[in-house]
Amino acid sequence: MSKGFARGRTALTRNGRPSTTKFGWVYKDPRWKAVRKLVLERDKWRCTNCGCSVRTKFAARVDHIVAVSADISLAFTITNLRTLCVPCDAVRHMEKGGGGRAVERKGVDEDGWPIADG
Ligand SMILES: [Zn+2]
């Protein structure tokens, strides 16, 4: 019996849960994954606000400068994106959270990655 079929990748859960955000699909789009990586590399895996390193997996957030709800055409535009650390991202969302949308916590963050809740 051969073993070694373990795959190196962990697929994101695809359990068909509806997104609670209108633009949740953006973060599941292959273009998002690609551009997100470009942004992180462009910003050298540092928060563009405070400069701290976001190299650990759950520390990196990529933020839309112009929110996707304001202009969906900028959703995958690298110049509209910036790297933030989790604390700066939280502040940013509080600042722009005029609609009362709190940071949602349901196991996966906006980027589609599992939340490591502390
Ligand atoms: Zn920061």
Q: 52 CA to middle of ligand 1, Å?
A: 6
Ligand 1 centroid to residue 5 C-alpha, Å = 39
Separation of alpha carbons 113 and 8, rounded Å: 16
- How far is ligand 1, taken at its centre, from the CA of residue 88, in Å? 4
Answer whether residue 3 is part of any domain.
Answer: no
15 CA to middle of ligand 1, Å?
32
Distance between Cα 56 and ligand 1 center (Å): 13
State pLDDT tens for residues 70-111.
999 999 999 999 999 999 999 988 876 654 444 444 456 666
- 51 is a domain residue: yes
Structurally, how many domains does the chain consist of? 1
Q: Is residue 7 part of a domain?
A: no
39 within domain boundaries: no
pLDDT digits (tens, 9 = 90+) for 14-67: 545 444 568 999 999 999 999 999 999 999 999 999 999 999 878 999 999 999
Query: What is the 13 CA–ligand 1 centroid distance (Å)?
Result: 28
In a domain, 8, yes or no: no
The DSSP line for 44-92 is TTB-TTT--B--SGGGEEEEESS-TTT-GGGTT-GGGEEEEEHHHHHHH
pTM greater than 0.75 (yes/no): no
Please check whether residue 82 lies inside any domain of the structure.
Answer: yes
Residue 78 in any domain: the answer is yes
Compute, in angstroms, the gap from residue 18 CA to the centroid of ligand 1: 30
Give residue 99's domain range: 45-103
- Give domain status of residue 11, yes or no: no
